[in-house]
Amino acid sequence: MSSLLAVAENTLREAVRKRVLLAALVFGTAFLALFALGISSVERDMLKHAPMSLMQRRLFLNFVVMAGLYAVNFLTVMTAAFMPVDTLSGEIASGVMQTVAAKPVRRSTIVLGKWLAYWLVVAGYLALLAGGALAIMRGLTGFTPPHIELGLPLMLLEATVILSLSIAGGTRLSTIANGVAVFGLYGLAFLGSWFEQIGTLMNNGSAATLGTITSLLMPSEALWQRAAWFMQPPIMRDLHLTPFSPASLPSEAMVWWALGYVLVTLAFALVGFRKRAL
Amino acid sequence: MTDTVLTTRGLHKRFDAKLAVADLSLSLRQGEVFGFLGPNGAGKTTSLKMLLGLVTPSGGSATVLGAPLGDLHARARMGFLPEHFRFHDWLTGRELLRYHGRLYGMKGPHLEARIETLLARVDLLDAGERAVRGYSKGMLQRVGLAQAILNHPAIVFLDEPTSGLDPLGRRLVRDVIKELREQGTTVFLNSHLLGEVEATCDRVAFVKEGRIVRELVLAASAMGGVEVEIRLTGPGGGPVPALVRDELARRGEDLVWSEPGVARLRVAVDDAVPALARWLVGTGVELHGLTARRPSLEDVFLEVMGDDQRPG
């Protein structure tokens, strides 16, 4: 346990020393500042010109906050994929791993320690950005979208899926190949999810099935769709008023699938790294 | 009885088509400094990585400190300095040692005191708060050496610890090895710098194409004796008396008179040299010079490796 914490702590220190955290913080703050600026100008406009019903106003603000959260989701996924992409492959290639792995620590401890550290960073990043966006929205307009307690954990799960893949890839692939593979999968899921939505809307069964299969291969986008579904009022998602209103709601089973996906990916990482010649 | 700290039998490693280590069979006793010699690409580093649990052998058996390869309890008593020592270079020297100490399971004041002792020992006390990124090659190697002996290991594996170091750095490494031996630590030294090995090792094994081709105790007797060259004339500058010539032939082997006053012969042990000088002076001959020379490890290396070796 103490070596797991030592590895995790060292990984966090690396994120600080290499200014990864600083960059995330600076651009995260810039993002929030922009978001606040945008909302206050929209809000001013709404009050001045178009008199809206309470319902219209709520729907509109919900759309704006979903756009913000969509950007937050994308940034978090990027961070989860990029940050740990070379943590194993880079240290293996440079030889840094040799002195660490020759110590009385299990290889699994090294993998899990790194995973834990990056998970904390990604979770903190998501909390900062999503929490910041929601707080800004509430502070400036008094509006909070529904069921954020269900939506935000799903966004975190999505980031966890990507993070675990990025770490697992690093046990076998070079840094570049790993990055390409993780983003390739993410892109696949993104496209597949759109096929699923379009297929459902058009009653095209094969397109919808194709989408479901890609979501099983990579559940990231399905998790976002489910999170987005929760964080909108029923009328918005039923009428498919915005691009954030999924036509086909990924089921709860997809959440369990994603959790299992994380566990299996981590198991692959542990096995892959245990046998790896260093 | 001496304790065996490391035994391997038929250990081998194949990477796809390439047989990196063909047959590693050796045994190390506690407290000896063992040199593992061979040209580049002979399988030295792979052998060492197998012993450290970094590479899984394709076959054969081995124990280190009484445990199978990779055993965590055994690894807690091992130290390792890899070739081309690389580290998380954004850490300071002190942080680096603290991290590695924690991986050894060390902590608290005990670890801190050990770090200070070692920083002083490798002459890095004033650089302890600087990032390793800014260290010179010699400093990196020294902090790496400190990292390898943090845990008071029973056996230390050093892979080319002096390559690329200046003479001062090499001497420091040599002194540390000497201290380790005095403390009863076994040292497994991978090297192709024969002078270094000659100066530090008790015993060496020559590895060629992944196989140990010869083991040698680094003492005169095992290296084929001591070569002695004597310059002398008879009493009053005359020829050397036959009696002396006959006795010289008895006292050494392969006596050759390269010139009338220059004799070359081989004696078995170092101790025979002063006795030889005393006897010569006693016979009344005029002794102009006497030099003793061991065949260097390089001579033996070239002989063992043969002519078919190309520079690695």
* A96-118: pLDDT as tens digits: 999 999 999 999 999 999 999 99
CATH topology of domain B226-294: Alpha-Beta Plaits (3.30.70)
Structure tokens at B138: 């010699």
- What's the confidence (pLDDT) of residue A81? 92
Q: Which residue type sits at A102? A: A
What distance in Å separates residue B71's CA from the closest CA in chain A?
8
Q: Is A271 on the interface with B (CB under 8 A)?
A: no
Task: Please give the average per-residue pLDDT across A126-134, as a whole number.
Answer: 95
- What's the confidence (pLDDT) of residue A117? 96
DSSP SS3 for A52: coil
Q: Is A275 on the interface with B (CB under 8 A)?
A: yes
Q: Is the ipTM of this complex over 0.90?
A: no
Domain ranges of chain B: 4-217, 226-294
Q: Is the pLDDT of residue B91 over 80?
A: yes
Do B224 and B254 touch, CB atoms closer than 8 A? no
Facing A101 at nearest CB: one of B54, B84, B87: B54
**Sign for the pseudo-dihedral over CA of A195, A197, A202, A204:** positive
Of A29-38, A63-72, A159-168, B284-293, which range is least confident?
A: B284-293
B15–A105 CB contact, under 8 Å = no
What distance in Å separates residue A276's CA from the closest CA in chain B?
7
Q: Is the pLDDT of residue A218 over 60?
A: yes
> With bands split at pLDDT 50, 70 and 90, how would you rate the model's confidence at B30?
very high
What distance in Å separates residue A270's CA from the closest CA in chain B?
15
Q: Which CATH class, in words, describes the domain spanning B4-217?
A: alpha beta
Task: Please give the average per-residue pLDDT across A45-72, as a whole number.
Answer: 84
Structure tokens at A252: 């709860």
Per the listing, tokens 């260097």 go with B296
B90–A99 CB contact, under 8 Å = no
Task: Please give the average per-residue pLDDT across A182-194, as a whole number.
Answer: 88
Per the listing, tokens 């090659």 go with B137
Looking at per-residue pLDDT, the higher value among B214 and A163 belongs to: A163
Q: Is the pLDDT of residue B296 over 80?
A: no
- How many CB atoms neighbour CB B197 within 10 A? 22
> With bands split at pLDDT 50, 70 and 90, how would you rate the model's confidence at B309?
low
B90–A18 CB contact, under 8 Å = yes
Best-predicted range by mean pLDDT among A22-26, A170-174, A186-190, B108-112?
Answer: B108-112
Burial class (CB in 10 A: 0-12, 13-18, 19+), B213: middle
- What's the confidence (pLDDT) of residue A241? 64
Distance (Å, rounded) from C-alpha A266 to C-alpha B13? 28
Bridge partners, residue B232, by sequence: B287
Distance (Å, rounded) from C-alpha A169 to C-alpha A86? 9
- What's the confidence (pLDDT) of residue B1? 44
3-class secondary structure per residue, B133-179: HHCCHHHHHHHHHHHHHCCCCCEEEEECCCCCCCHHHHHHHHHHHHH
Looking at per-residue pLDDT, the higher value among A238 and A58 belongs to: A58
Q: Is A18 on the interface with B (CB under 8 A)?
A: yes
Residue ranges making up the domain that contains A188: 2-274
The DSSP code for B259 is: E
Tens of pLDDT, residue by residue over B43-54, are 899 999 999 999
Distance (Å, rounded) from C-alpha A129 to C-alpha A126? 5
- What's the confidence (pLDDT) of residue A18? 84
Q: Say what the pTM is.
A: 0.85
Task: Please give the average per-residue pLDDT across A68-91, as a whole number.
Answer: 92
Distance (Å, rounded) from C-alpha B271 to C-alpha B292? 11
Facing A103 at nearest CB: one of B84, B91, B103: B103
Q: Is A99 on the interface with B (CB under 8 A)?
A: yes
Domain count, chain A: 1
- What's the confidence (pLDDT) of residue B222? 57
